Amino acid sequence: MNDSQLHNYILLGPPGSGKSTQANLLKSKYHLTHIDIGSELRHLAESGTDLGKVINEIINVKKELVPDGLIGQVVEHILTHTSAEQSILIDGAPRRVSQIDEVEGALASRGRTIDKVLFLDLSEEVAVKRISTRWLCQECKAPYIGTKEDIAHMGTCSVCGGSIGQRKDDTPEGVAKRYTVFMEETRPVIEYYETEGKLVRVDAMLAPDEVYAYIEKNIGSV
């Protein structure tokens, strides 16, 4: 990838496929603005506002997708604060066919088009297994990987001293439900971008550095 050019990437994958890890690697090497839709929604869910309560119910209790209109608003809001020369990585949208126009429309209104859609492909079995070892500081959100025993042994967050816990939707049932939603709602989006010739399908079973190397090699042709 030529990092002096403007690029617009989409990153999709089921829970546990390593989207955040790859987003952080790409972000630091290519200075991309990382638009993390799930994180923006969790932030809103914790806000205590009426809208936040509705979002909390959808993402943490029902483990479903939030209504489409909101996704366009989140992308719009972040693009408003992003320089026109800045390359971006949208992590987690469009996640439904009906969001394709919404996301592409928000990009098009700023003269942007999607270059590549990176799809991290992972089986449900591995997704559930991986998520059971995913933890984060409840205060500063620093990530941790380990068994329940490892985390108990560690005690508190080494960055800020906060308590370490799991995301509310990271229970085994929560991951299974989100995986089903991914297969039903997001698979057709993946298929759409495949027919558009924009899809980069990556085997997310590989180690993070191998996944990253594959992505770099395959976005190089943009």
| Sign (positive or negative) of CA dihedral 19, 140, 166, 47 | negative
Report the residue closest to ligand AMP, judged by CB. 38
Q: Nearer to ligand AMP by C-beta: 1 or 193?
A: 193
Nearest distance in Å: CB 99, ligand AMP: 6
Question: SS3 for 56?
Answer: helix
Nearest distance in Å: CB 2, ligand AMP: 28
User: In angstroms, rounded to a whole number, what is the distance separating the alpha carbons of residues 142 and 91?
Assistant: 18
What percent of the residues of the chain are helix, what percent strand, and what percent coil, each to the nearest 5? 50, 15, 35
Q: Nearer to ligand AMP by C-beta: 108 or 154?
A: 108
Q: Nearer to ligand AMP by C-beta: 1 or 211?
A: 211
Where do contacts with ligand AMP occur on this chain (CB under 6 A)? 15, 37-38, 41, 58-59, 63, 65-66, 71, 92-93, 95, 99, 169, 178
Nearest distance in Å: CB 145, ligand AMP: 16
For 195-198, which contacts have Cβ atoms below 8 Å and span 24 or more sequence positions?
Answer: 198/114, 198/115, 198/116, 198/117
Nearest distance in Å: CB 20, ligand AMP: 8
86 in Cβ contact with 33 (< 8 Å): yes
Q: Nearer to ligand AMP by C-beta: 141 or 198?
A: 141
Q: Nearer to ligand AMP by C-beta: 26 or 93?
A: 93
> For the residues of 166-182, what is the DSSP string, one character each?
--TT-SHHHHHHHHHHI
Nearest distance in Å: CB 92, ligand AMP: 4
User: In angstroms, rounded to a whole number, what is the distance separating the alpha carbons of residues 168 and 45?
Assistant: 11
